[in-house]
Amino acid sequence: MTETTEAQVAAEVKTPSPTAENATEVPAATTNGHAEEQPASEQKPTEETNGTSTEDKAKSEPKEELPPPKEMRAVVLTGFGGFKNVKILKKPEPAPQTGEVLIRVKACGLNFQDLMVRLGAIDSPPKTPTILGFECAGEVEAVGEEVEGFKVGDRVVALPEFRAWSELVAVPTKYVYHIPDEMTFQDAAAIVMNYLVAYILIFDLISLREGKSILLHSVGGGVGQAIVQLARTIPNVTIFGVCSKGKHEALAATGLIDHLIDRTDYVNEVRKITTEGVDVVMDCLCGEECNRGYGLLKPMGKYILYGSSNVVTGETKSFFSVARSWWQVDKVSPIKLFDENKSLAGFNLRHLLYQQDGSAYVRSTVDKIFDLWKDGKVKPVVDSAWALEDVAEAMQKMHDRKNIGKLVLDPAMEPKPKPATPAKTKSKKQASEDKSSKKDKSSENGDDKKDEEAKTNGEEGEAAATTPEAVNGDSAEKKEEPVATNGEATESEKKESS
Amino acid sequence: MTETTEAQVAAEVKTPSPTAENATEVPAATTNGHAEEQPASEQKPTEETNGTSTEDKAKSEPKEELPPPKEMRAVVLTGFGGFKNVKILKKPEPAPQTGEVLIRVKACGLNFQDLMVRLGAIDSPPKTPTILGFECAGEVEAVGEEVEGFKVGDRVVALPEFRAWSELVAVPTKYVYHIPDEMTFQDAAAIVMNYLVAYILIFDLISLREGKSILLHSVGGGVGQAIVQLARTIPNVTIFGVCSKGKHEALAATGLIDHLIDRTDYVNEVRKITTEGVDVVMDCLCGEECNRGYGLLKPMGKYILYGSSNVVTGETKSFFSVARSWWQVDKVSPIKLFDENKSLAGFNLRHLLYQQDGSAYVRSTVDKIFDLWKDGKVKPVVDSAWALEDVAEAMQKMHDRKNIGKLVLDPAMEPKPKPATPAKTKSKKQASEDKSSKKDKSSENGDDKKDEEAKTNGEEGEAAATTPEAVNGDSAEKKEEPVATNGEATESEKKESS
């Protein structure tokens, strides 16, 4: 990695951002489809070098006094859609503006939100091309004007709205937090977003108390694992963790979850254990799970919606699944809540942080989380670490809900040599998981759309009107080159994720 | 008062309950209409005697060994409607059944719910005739079989579902709580219901934190005053108290409320003070205030509905006001809460206690409240105490939202001598308040219905469709003899109450 001085950075800020067209471009490797066939060794060498490509030199030749604009590797979304739109590109290094610090990124956190951004399935989506990523940790390399409380060399974690998955990122200090000396960058990137959500849910919105029971979707994901740990700081809490059967063994081994419930029939499974229901339902899925979750509440129970990952079904955006997630959610009158002694809440960290000026509140919560970490009460579960070049594969794993805990990217990490060389940075277990995952995908490739619709309708027997028009609308949407993940994705339609 | 032995009680349990028709009946005195014309001195003497009327003697003559069935005075609702249906009747003394204690009542609490019961404006209304009242304090006079933890002579407060406003009441022990030795019965009856609601809202549902702001309707009422006191146990809480202008001076004198807001235009008044809104809205009114309250929330704000006193407008049940309270409440999607970072909650103590088996939770909360009382953090505000015979006047005062703090009944208290003799048990201030109240009522008597509708429509400018049909439906409803309070009631349509 190149160390950049402040003088260099100042010179480079005038360089216009390259568009997707003129940037040096390498598609992010995926584990499936055509991209998978292309071994890392065949990728363009510019991907691994930094600011020294011939293209760059040609550009900067007329200005002899100025050094060539420095470039960095970044994970760029070139357009909404499938994994092929996620590319590793060379981008000019940013410079910190007033109130910003420039961070040399050492670790990035993947969040389910990143999948939704890729699909364009979020409100106020960014303009493409854009550098992806909401979460990174690293060292302050330069500080902009009017910055207080941060200096070069500070170890920090940041929550920029996009642009976190890059070698360098300039972030307004209101989204930057110092990390404890003993905390690794990887742990920092694995902690902040997930534990922020978990902490705010557990302590500020639910105010979970001794003796209460909680039902938690996607218990194997990063937020799920964070919620479990924080809930365990309160005595005598009963945790019903919902996830796919395949994760039960690994999660049972943690000994933290009282009842592991398969997601296919979780309502009946919970009712078998407790006819009266639960005190809290934490829902990151949305759609029909809202109604089901509300129905599972005891009197004085609290339901909270903090994600809408049910929107993500296939690899590309599905109007059908988006519409389903909206139409199936019953509106509730406050009078019903009054009659039934129930609460409904929603939490959206992105809106809070970037649209609702919640940065001071978030900062105070980060402090509390780091205090808990120092006390040993917060131990981030990292599923696996990946090179930037392997981001598509990491996203695929999250999409398939195969992760237990957090997926992180490490810009300094070597991409996985493919396909023959054994994975250098992974455990045996991890490598074998990947292998079997690939097998599934290749065998299911082909009849993706048809398969998805059939399974969707089958699974939504309880749901409200899903008209043929809606299905057609979905099918008629973006006719992308089919990618191997579609068949797989439908299997995990009722999914668990970070 | 007569002391009853357990033997007597056992004998009397077989006595059939007299119906409203055969019971000795005296209408409760009211401050208005025809009842007002009848001074207490002209009331039937049987009201003041106990179980010794000639009628009783005639009944018991054939059974010479048995003593005549003992009777007690009770506040009986003979049918849903106006104050004339609230009567002081002689009823046979109850005996404690299995799991019950018999309580000699020393003080009763009035709650807004009692007005709604009188109107029949609650769900699952009781069959009439019924003894009114949800709250009383007194001494255990007898214990039924299988009672543990209570003995004769214990000082207790109780929350039976109805029947509390009587000289004696038998209550299942799950609704009975020991009171601290130093606590008066009047304070006990003034504390339990109001502080239960306030405590659960503040600490369990809202989980109010340091630095937060709350908006509170009916801040002058019993629950309002309790919420203010409990909120003040948390540092740096900003309280916006909404009530009629007439109470501002008295409430300002307490020094506990940061911003006293007139209820007629409270949304704009609050926005003038804080453009961003408030963290918490506590709404006991329902109807259009639900939408307004939600609109006043900051991000991460919590709205809670814990009453529907907007239903009570005129003295008799108004389908118009009931419908208004329902139709004007917008249903909310959990997705909206997710987008806006907001919470909605409902709390209904009656449902929790009698329909949802919340008695253990309520008992543990009563313990916490009594601990706060012992620490001097809970000091019930008692507006005034009344004889059973003056219950209609007390209810009228609550209906008119003239009270600050709790109204209590004392079965041992002498009724107010009317009209000439000065009130024996009241302060000068109280007596003069009553006087002016009467004046208002008599002057406005006559064009009650028309007046009510006009004011209603005028005040509901922001509200959704209030069709002429709804108005007609209302007018066509129960054609009771007009009672003087209707004109007055419309003045306090946006009301504050306990």
* Residue A123: pLDDT over 70: yes
Q: What is the mean pLDDT of residues B436-460?
A: 35
Nearest to A286 among B308, B329, B335 (CB): B335
Residues in CB range of A116: below 8 A, 6 or more apart? A122, A308, A309, A311, A312
- Quote the pLDDT of residue B321: 65
pLDDT at site A323 = 67
Residues 6+ apart with CB under 8 A from A333: B329, B330, B331, B332
ipTM, two decimals: 0.74
- Mutate one of A311, A332, A344 to test the B interface: name it (highest B CB count within 10 A): A344
Neighbours of A290 (CB within 10 A): 26
SS3 of B53, please?
A: coil
**Whether A241 and A178 share a structural domain:** no
Check residue A1 and report its DSSP letter.
-
Instruction: Tell me which of A161-175, B25-39, B285-299, B360-374 is least confident.
Output: B25-39
A336·B343 Cβ contact <8 A? no
Task: Domain of residue B276: give its range.
Answer: 209-347
- N-term to C-term CA, chain A: 30
Nearest to A392 by CA among A427, A355, A418: A418
Check whether A31 has a pLDDT greater than 60: no
Report, as an integer, the average pLDDT of A454-482: 30
In a domain, A428, yes or no: no
Convert B400-469 into a string of H (helix), E (strand) and C (coil): CCCCCCEEEECCCCCCCCCCCCCCCCCCHHHHHHHHHHHHHHHHHCCCHHHHHHHHHHHHCCCCCCCCHH
pLDDT band at residue A317 under the 50/70/90 scheme = low
Angle between helices A222-231 and A185-199 (to 10 degrees): 70
Q: Are residues A343 and A368 in the same domain?
A: no
Asked if A116 and A216 sit in the same domain, the reply is no
In chain B, the residue whose alpha carbon lies closest to the alpha carbon of A200 is: B300
Return left, alpha or beta for A286; rule: phi > 0 is left, psi -120 to 50 is alpha, else beta: left
Say yes or no: A117 and A245 in one domain. no
Distance from CA of B93 to the nearest CA of A (A): 34
Tokens of A288: 């029909």
Asked if B345 and A342 come within 8 Å (Cβ–Cβ), the reply is: yes
Say if residue B215 is in the same domain as residue B332.
Answer: yes
Contact B343 A346 (CB under 8 A): yes
Q: Kindly determine whether residue B299 and residue A351, on different chains, have CB atoms separated by under 8 Å.
A: yes
Residue B447 forms part of a structural domain = no
- Our CA-based measurement puts residue A149 at a distance from the nearest CA of chain B, in whole angstroms, of 24
Three-class secondary structure assignment of B62-106 = CCCCCCCCCEEEEEEECCCCCHHHEEEEEEECCCCCCCEEEEEEE
Highest mean pLDDT among A26-30, A31-35, A114-118, B101-105 belongs to B101-105
Residue B407 is predicted with a pLDDT of 96
pLDDT score, position B121 = 85
Give residue B68's pLDDT band: very low, low, confident or very high (50, 70, 90).
Answer: confident
Q: Do A110 and A409 touch, CB atoms closer than 8 A?
A: yes
Residue B91 has pLDDT above 50, yes or no: yes
Task: Report the pLDDT value the prediction gives residue B475, as an integer from 0 to 100.
Answer: 32
Q: How confident is the model at residue A324, as a pLDDT? A: 65
Place of tokens 């079965």: B411
pLDDT tops 50 at residue A80: yes
B285 touches chain A (CB under 8 A): no
Q: Does the pLDDT at position A215 exceed 80?
A: yes
Which residues in A lie closer than 8 A to residue B337 (C-beta atoms)? 305, 344-346
Residue with tokens 């599972």: A296
- In the predicted model, is pLDDT for residue B335 greater than 60? yes
Picking from B424, B421, B390, B423, the residue whose alpha carbon sits closest to that of residue B407 is B390
- Same domain membership, residue A222 and residue A340: yes
How deeply is B161 buried, as exposed, middle or buried, from its count of CB atoms within 10 A (0-12, 13-18, 19+)?
Answer: middle
CA B84 to chain centre: 18
| Closest of A46, A35, A495 to residue A284, by C-alpha | A495
Query: Which CATH number belongs to the domain containing residue B410 in this structure?
Result: 3.90.180.10
| 8 Å CB contact of A334 and B340 | no
Residues of B in contact with A346 (CB under 8 A): 334-343
Residue B11: its pLDDT value, please? 33
A331 and chain B: CB distance < 8 Å anywhere? yes
* A44 assigned to some structural domain: no
d(CA A151, CA A490): 48
Interface touch A356/B308, C-beta < 8 Å: no
Q: How far is B187 from chain A (nearest CA, A)?
A: 27
Q: What is the pLDDT of residue A461?
A: 28
Instruction: Determine the Cα–Cα distance for residues B5 and B248; give it in Å rounded to an integer.
Output: 50
Residues B152 and B215 in one domain: no
CA distance A490 to A484: 12
pLDDT score of B200 more than 80: yes
CA–CA separation, B297 vs B278, rounded Å? 5
Tens digits of residue pLDDT in B122-154: 888 999 999 999 999 999 999 999 999 999 999
Quick one: pLDDT at residue A75?
97
The verdict on B183 and B293 lying in the same domain is no
The pLDDT of residue B197 is 97
The residue type at B352: L
> Does B434 have pLDDT greater than 70?
no
- 3-class DSSP state for residue A91? strand
Please, which pLDDT band fits residue B66 given cuts at 50, 70 and 90?
confident
- Residue B308 has what pLDDT? 82
Helix (H) or strand (E) holding B156: strand B155-158
- Give pLDDT, residue B320: 65
Q: Round the average pLDDT of chain B to a whole number and report it.
A: 77
Say yes or no for a CB contact (<8 Å) between A204 and B300.
yes
Task: Report CB contact under 8 Å: B341, A356.
Answer: yes
State whether B286 and A335 contact (CB < 8 Å).
Answer: yes
| One domain, residues B76 and B183 | yes
- Output the pLDDT for position B279: 98
In a domain, A132, yes or no: yes
Q: Are A32 and A418 in contact (CB under 8 A)?
A: no
- Strands in A259-262's sheet, in edge-to-edge order, are A259-262, A238-243, A213-216, A278-283, A297-305, A342-346, B342-346, B297-305, B278-283, B213-216, B238-243, B259-262
Distance of CA B385 to the CA centre of its chain: 13
Q: Is residue A55 part of a domain?
A: no
Set of chain A residues whose Cβ sits within 8 Å of the Cβ of B358: 299-300, 341
The band of A308, judged by pLDDT with boundaries at 50, 70 and 90, is confident
pTM: 0.75
CA distance B29 to B44: 12
Task: Note whether A35 and A84 are within 8 A (CB).
Answer: yes
Q: Residue A182's pLDDT band (boundaries 50, 70, 90)? A: very high
**DSSP label of A31:** S
| A26, A51, A241, B134 from A23: Cα distances, Å | 9, 12, 45, 75
Q: Note whether B204 contacts A205, CB cutoff 8 Å.
A: no
Alpha helices in A400-447 (DSSP H): 428-444
> Is A300 inside a domain boundary?
yes
> Is position B218 within any domain?
yes
* A63 interfacial to chain B (CB closer than 8 Å): no
Q: Are residues B304 and B391 in the same domain?
A: no
Which of B334-358 are b and which e, b meaning 16 or more Cβ less than 10 Å from the residue's Cβ?
bbbbbbbbbbbbbbbbbbbbbbbeb
State whether B358 and A300 contact (CB < 8 Å): yes
Residue of B nearest to A338 (CA): B346
pLDDT band for position A10 (cuts 50, 70, 90)? very low
- Which chain B residues are Cβ-neighbours of A300 within 8 angstroms? 204, 352, 356, 358, 361
What whole-number distance in Å separates Cα of residue B344 and Cα of residue B168? Answer: 40
| Chain A environment of B205 (Cβ under 8 Å) | 343
Number of compact structural domains in chain A: 3
**CATH classification of the domain holding B343:** 3.40.50.720
Tell whether A188 and A216 lie within a shared domain. Answer: no
Residue A322 predicted with pLDDT over 80: no
Task: Write down the mean pLDDT value for chain A.
Answer: 77
The residues with which B88 forms a beta bridge, in sequence order, are B26, B75
- Residue A219 maps to a domain: yes
- Give dist(CA B379, CA B77) in Å, integer: 31
| Same-domain status, B115 and B75 | yes
Q: In 3-state terms, what secondary structure has residue B180?
A: coil
Mean pLDDT of B202-217: 96
pLDDT at A312: 72
Q: Answer yes or no: do A308 and B338 touch at CB < 8 A.
A: yes
User: Is residue A1's pLDDT more than 50?
Assistant: no
